[in-house]
Structure 1
Amino acid sequence: MTRTREELLDEGWQDVKDGTFIDHMGSVFARGLGELGILTQPCHQNLSGIVHGGVLMTAFDRVMGMLPRNLRPGEQFPTTTMTIEFLRPVKVGEFIHLTASITKAGPRALFVRGMARVGDRDIGAASAVFMAVT
Structure 2
Amino acid sequence: MSENEGVGETGATGLVDVTEGEFAGWQVWQSDAFEQRAGPFYEKVDADGTARIAFRAEPRHMNGAGFMHGGCLMTFADAAIFTIARKAMDGSHGVTLTLTGDFLDPARVGQLIEATGEVVRAGGKTIFVAGIVKADGAPVLRFDGIIRKVRGSR
- TM-score range with shorter-chain normalisation? 0.7 to 0.9
- How many aligned residue pairs are there? 127
2:93 corresponds to which letter in structure 1? Answer: Q
The equivalent position to 1:28 in structure 2, one of 41, 46, 60, is 41
Calculate the TM-score normalised by the size of structure 1: 0.82
Check if 1:55 corresponds to 2:55: no
Q: What is the identity, as a one-letter code, of the residue corresponding to 1:36?
A: I
Residue equivalent to 1:37:
54
Residue 34 and residue 23 in structure 1: after superposition, are their counterparts in 2 closer, same or farther (change >3 A)? same
Secondary structure, in 3 states, of the residue corresponding to 2:130? strand
Greater alpha carbon shift after TM alignment, 44-53 vs 21-30: 21-30
* Residue of structure 1 aligned with 2:94, choices 63, 73, 77: 77
Tell me the CA shift for residue 15 of structure 1. 5.0
The CA deviation string for residues 57-115 of structure 1, in whole angstroms up to 9 with x for no partner, is 11111111134443233422211001101100011111111112100112121100111
How many Å separate the matches in 2 of 1:111 and 1:131? 9
User: Which protein has greater RCO, CA pairs closer than 8 Å, 6+ apart?
Assistant: 1
Q: Distance in 2 between matches of 1:40 and 1:15?
A: 18
Rounded to whole Å, the distance in 1 between the matches of 2:144 and 2:132 is: 9
Q: Which has the higher strand share?
A: 2
Q: Distance in 2 between matches of 1:89 and 1:63?
A: 18
Q: Distance in 2 between matches of 1:123 and 1:48?
A: 16
Alignment of 1:1-134 (within 5 A): 6-9=21-24, 12=25, 14=26, 16-20=28-32, 21-32=34-45, 34-133=51-150
Aligned equivalents of 1:125, 1:77: Cα separation in 2: 21
Q: Is the 8 A contact 2:58 2:110 kept in 1?
A: yes
Q: 1:6, CA displacement in angstroms?
A: 3.7
Q: Distance in 2 between matches of 1:67 and 1:8?
A: 18
Q: Which has the higher helix share?
A: 1
Paired amino acid for 2:28: V
Contact 2:119 2:130 in 1 (8 A): yes
Note closer, same or farther for the CA distance 1:87–1:29 as it changes in structure 2 (3 Å cut): same
Structure 2 unaligned residues grouped into runs of 5+: 1-19
